[in-house]
Amino acid sequence: MRYRRANIEGGTYFFTVVTFKREKFLTQPDNVSLLREAFKVVMKKHPFIIDAFILLPDHLHCIWSLPENDNDFSNRWRLIKSYFSRNCNKKYKQKPSEVRKRKKEQAIWQRRFWEHLIRDDDDYKTHVEYIHYNPVKHHLAAAPIYWEYSSFHKYVQKGVYSKDWGVSEEIVFDQRIGGE
């Protein structure tokens, strides 16, 4: 079976990107800064809007809106991942497998990423909520407000969420959401 990605110009997409062997190093302060830098560098040449974002120790989720007449999110991810990999502190790199040695790849990221084309406003809302609730789902925070590496705080500032959203109730999502 051949894998095919969604291909809508100007689309809005949900992504899951995972570290190689789920190594937990993304939230190390130097790596947080480096990932921000990688996004900024790529966004200068290949603009897009980050609608929602969460960074966890071994993966990240985000929603991007691409410019009109542009559907090339794969190249953007390739550039972000390679910038990060080239500049990442060596102690977080895994010993490369034989396949990766032959291809001269860094063993930092899983090769592929999960993407989902956002279909409508309800789909968008569900994926934004999934992103913001993810640290609670993974037992990294008692509530979304307590997780530092999240766009949740901007959503609270805009009045989309109250600070106590997700505090007292468990939010359960359809298993098909997230690509984890």
Query: Which CATH number belongs to the domain containing residue 39 in this structure?
Result: 3.30.70.1290
Q: Which two tokens stand for residue 148?
A: 């530092």
pLDDT given at position 1? 46
Name the percent of the chain in helix, strand, coil, to the closest 5: 40, 15, 45
Where are the extended beta strands (E) located within 34-146? Answer: 49-55, 59-65, 114-117
Q: What is the pLDDT of residues 33-56, one digit of tens each?
A: 999 999 999 999 999 999 999 999
Task: Report if residue 162 sits inside a domain.
Answer: no
Residue 92 is a catalytic residue: no
pLDDT given at position 99? 38
45: DSSP letter: H
| Of 78 and 91, the one with more pLDDT | 78
Domain with 61 in it: 12-157
Task: Report if residue 6 sits inside a domain.
Answer: no
Please report, rounded to a whole number, the percentage of residues in the chain having pLDDT higher than 90. 75
Q: What is the pLDDT of residues 144-163, one digit of tens each?
A: 999 999 999 999 999 999 99
Task: Report if residue 137 sits inside a domain.
Answer: yes
Mean pLDDT value of segment 128-134: 96
Number of domains present in the structure of the chain: 1
Task: Report if residue 56 sits inside a domain.
Answer: yes
Q: Indicate if the pLDDT at residue 58 is higher than 50.
A: yes
Instruction: Give, rounded to a whole angstrom, the gap between the first and last alpha carbons of the chain.
Output: 21
Residue 36's CB: how many other CB atoms inside 10 A?
12
Task: Report if residue 90 sits inside a domain.
Answer: yes
Task: Report if residue 176 sits inside a domain.
Answer: no
Choosing from 83, 149, 155, 161, which is the catalytic residue?
149
Task: Report if residue 152 sits inside a domain.
Answer: yes
Residue with tokens 């051949």: 2
pLDDT given at position 133? 96
pLDDT given at position 12? 97
Q: What is the pLDDT of residues 88-118, one digit of tens each?
A: 864 444 444 443 443 444 589 998 899 999 9
Task: Report if residue 77 sits inside a domain.
Answer: yes
